[in-house]
Amino acid sequence: MANKPHGGVLKDLLARDALRHDQLATEAEKLPAIVLTERQLCDLELILSGGFSPLEGVLVVVTDLRLADGNLFSIPITLDVSQGQIDLLGIKPGARITLRDFRDDRHLAIISVEDVYKPDK
């Protein structure tokens, strides 16, 4: 018997349907792209495979260490990009961005931007 995933549901975000996969691949070719670092690639793999369930994307846990549904999640999973990349790619809420592998430049995922967080320095 397997352990129940955090939040109760394992989030498998891989596009397993061939038609949907092809649609996303076509869209990815047309979108601005961020080339992921090795660390970002590891985070993406855990998000896509359900290792960070119940997350369905990156987040910032700032004040109460909980997700919107009330589940405890104290690890901030973020996609760090420079202000230069934000400006160059037009990253803002509502934008869709392709995430690419630094090793071979393959398109791995498409992210829908919900928020752009700027840390206090």
Percent of the chain surpassing pLDDT 90: 45
What is residue 61's predicted lDDT score, i.e. its pLDDT?
60
- The domain ranges of the chain are 20-112
The answer to pTM > 0.75 is yes
Express each pLDDT in 96-116 by its tens digit: 999 999 999 999 999 999 888
Using the predicted structure, report yes or no on whether residue 88 has a pLDDT greater than 80: yes
- Sheet architecture: strand order including 33-35: 33-35, 96-100, 107-112
Q: What is the mean pLDDT of the chain?
A: 84
Alpha-carbon distance 59 to 117, whole Å?
A: 10
How far is CA 68 from each of CA 47, 79, 81, 95, rounded to the nearest angstrom? 17, 19, 24, 21
Please, are residues 81 and 91 in contact by the beta-carbon 8 Å criterion? yes
What is residue 115's predicted lDDT score, i.e. its pLDDT?
84
Express each pLDDT in 48-57 by its tens digit: 888 877 776 6
Using the predicted structure, report yes or no on whether residue 60 has a pLDDT greater than 60: no
Percent of the chain surpassing pLDDT 70: 87
Using the predicted structure, report yes or no on whether residue 34 has a pLDDT greater than 80: yes
- CATH number at 20-112: 3.10.400.10
